[in-house]
């Protein structure tokens, strides 16, 4: 059974959210999974338009003008039409089934609601404007704090998906899930070698990390390449994951959830798409028991 059967992607018409969609479509296997695009119409803008409120404009960017209901509704409709067109176009390119849901509310709340039926929720890490609070650039922090499924965070520009790197730490919540997602991503992206970042202060700690990795018995048909990184780099997630250079980075969701205060800086530093793994419900899945001989190098 495919690990990724249903993905929900937050779409707002920005290039950043489109990058999140593109990465997701790379991961979904045609015929085995589907994608739901979620466009959120901000209810607060509708209320402001009905009250005749003035739209905020950053200093030096023109004169503030009153919001009108017609303008807001036209903006919502134009964005919905564009998002639907791009979703269908890209989904057709990757031969993946897709549909668009347009809902009213706030982006974070809508995506947290949609995740109940999803294996993965994907968003862009930054929107293209700062004066619309409903842009998805304001959503990642809320998802990291509250999501109950795995998350995909994508920057505006994706350098390429020709590598997979996973951050692993013994005893961390979600370490096994991170390995499972890294294995799945290597299959979906046709990447045989997966780099494993192991935080270690000395040789003994590095050896323990490698042994812990062996005990989890990751798939034997993937070549796992351990890469040692210092605990100091591990304490600054962006610094550690910059070693990935390019491609997809996989890490346990607890990797950033345990230190929410540093999440903003972390997302700002990251230059690669990041999959934050949370242990999926695999009660109905049969996972083969595979040994680790000749896998590590």
In a domain, 295, yes or no: no
Is 140 in the same domain as 51?
yes
pLDDT tens digits along 163-186:
999 988 777 778 899 999 999 999
Task: Band the pLDDT of 51: cuts 50, 70, 90.
Answer: low
Q: Report if residue 294 sits inside a domain.
A: no
Q: Are strands 248-252 and 34-42 parallel, antiparallel or unpaired?
A: unpaired
| Integer Cα distance of 220 and 286 in angstroms | 16
For residues 133 and 232, state if they share a domain.
no
Question: How many Å apart are CA 69 and CA 1, to the nearest integer?
Answer: 47
Q: What is the mean pLDDT of the chain?
A: 77
d(CA 136, CA 1): 31
pLDDT at position 260 is 58
Same domain, residue pair 10 and 148: yes
Whether 12 and 150 map to the same domain: the answer is: yes
Residue 178's domain comprises 164-277
Over residues 26-36, the pLDDT tens digits come to: 999 999 999 99
**If DSSP states are collapsed to H, E and C, what string results for the chain?**
CCCCCEEEEECCCCHHHHHHHHHHHHHCCCCCCEEEEEEEEEHHHHHHHHHCCECCCCCCCCCCCECCHHHHHHHHHHHHHHHHHHHHHHHHHCCCEEEEEEEEECHHHHHHHHHHHCCEEEEECCCCCCCCCCCHHHCHHHHHHHCCCEEEEECCCCCCCCCEEEECCCCCCCHHHHHHHHHHHHHHCCCCEEEEEEECCCHHHHHHHHHHHHHCCCCCCCEEEEEEECHHHHHCHHHHHHHHCCCEEEEECHHHHCCHHHHHHHHHHCCCCEEEECCCCCCCCCCCCCCCCCCEC
- Using CB atoms within 10 Å of the CB of residue 294, give its burial: 0 to 12 exposed, 13 to 18 middle, 19+ buried: exposed
Domain closes at, from 154, 179, 202: 154
Q: Are residues 94 and 183 in the same domain?
A: no
pLDDT band at 160 (very low <50, low <70, confident <90, very high): confident
Is 61 among the domain residues?
Answer: yes
Q: Let me know if residue 1 belongs to a domain.
A: no
Residues 26 and 149 in one domain: yes
Report residue 2 as tokens.
Answer: 């495919």
The answer on pLDDT for 290 being more than 80 is no
Residues 30, 119, single domain; the answer is yes
Residue 58 lies in a domain: yes
Query: Do 44 and 139 fall into the same domain?
Result: yes
Query: Is residue 147 scored above 90 in pLDDT?
Result: no
Mean per-residue pLDDT for 62-87?
Answer: 72
CATH number, domain with residue 17: 3.40.50.620
Same domain (yes/no): 133, 168: no
For residue 86, being part of any structural domain is answered with: yes
**Is pLDDT above 50 for 57?**
no
Residue matched to tokens 């979906």: 188
Please answer whether residues 240 and 167 qualify as being in contact, where contact means their C-beta atoms are separated by less than 8 angstroms: yes
Number of domains within the chain: 2
User: Does a structural domain hold residue 297?
Assistant: no
| pLDDT given at position 72 | 62
Confidence of residue 128 (pLDDT cuts 50, 70, 90): very low
- Domain match, 138 and 91 both: yes
Looking at the fold, whether 17 and 145 belong to one and the same domain comes out as: yes
State the average pLDDT over residues 11-31: 93
Encoded tokens for 172? 């961390």
Stated pTM of the model: 0.81
| Dist CA 266 CA 207 (whole Å) | 28
Are 139 and 259 contained in the same domain? Answer: no
Residue 128 Rama label (left phi>0; alpha psi -120 to 50; beta): alpha
**Is residue 285, in this structure, part of any structural domain at all?**
no
Q: Are 161 and 26 in contact (CB under 8 A)?
A: yes
For residue 49, what pLDDT is reported? 57
Query: What is the token pair recorded at 159?
Result: 């350098």
- Residues of the chain above pLDDT 70, percent: 69
């Amino acid at each position: 059974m495919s690990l990724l059967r249903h993905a929900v992607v937050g779409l707002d018409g920005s290039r950043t959210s489109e990058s999140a969609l593109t990465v997701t479509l790379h991961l979904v296997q045609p015929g085995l999974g589907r994608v739901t695009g979620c466009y959120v119409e901000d209810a607060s803008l509708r209320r402001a338009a009905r009250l005749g409120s003035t739209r905020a404009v950053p200093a030096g960017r023109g004169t503030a003008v009153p919001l009108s209901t017609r303008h807001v509704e036209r903006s919502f409709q134009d964005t919905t039409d564009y998002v639907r067109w791009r979703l269908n176009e890209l989904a057709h390119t990757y031969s993946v089934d897709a549909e668009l849901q347009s809902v009213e509310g706030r982006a974070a709340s809508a995506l947290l609601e949609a995740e109940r039926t999803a294996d993965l929720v994907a968003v862009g890490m930054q929107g293209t404007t700062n004066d619309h609070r409903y842009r998805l650039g304001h959503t990642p922090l809320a998802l990291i704090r509250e999501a109950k499924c795995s998350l995909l965070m994508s920057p505006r520009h994706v350098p390429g998906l020709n590598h997979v790197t996973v951050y692993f730490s013994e005893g961390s919540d979600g370490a096994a899930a991170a390995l499972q997602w890294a294995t799945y991503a290597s299959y979906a992206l046709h990447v045989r070698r997966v780099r494993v970042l192991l935080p270690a202060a000395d040789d003994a700690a590095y050896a323990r990390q490698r042994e812990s990795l062996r005990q989890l018995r990751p798939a034997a048909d993937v070549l796992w390449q351990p890469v040692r990184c210092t605990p100091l780099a591990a304490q600054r997630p962006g610094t550690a994951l910059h070693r990935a250079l390019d491609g997809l980075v996989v890490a346990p969701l607890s990797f950033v959830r345990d230190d929410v205060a540093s999440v903003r800086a972390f997302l700002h530093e990251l230059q690669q798409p990041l999959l934050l793994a949370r242990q999926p419900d695999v009660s109905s899945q049969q996972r083969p028991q595979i040994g680790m001989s000749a896998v590590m190098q």
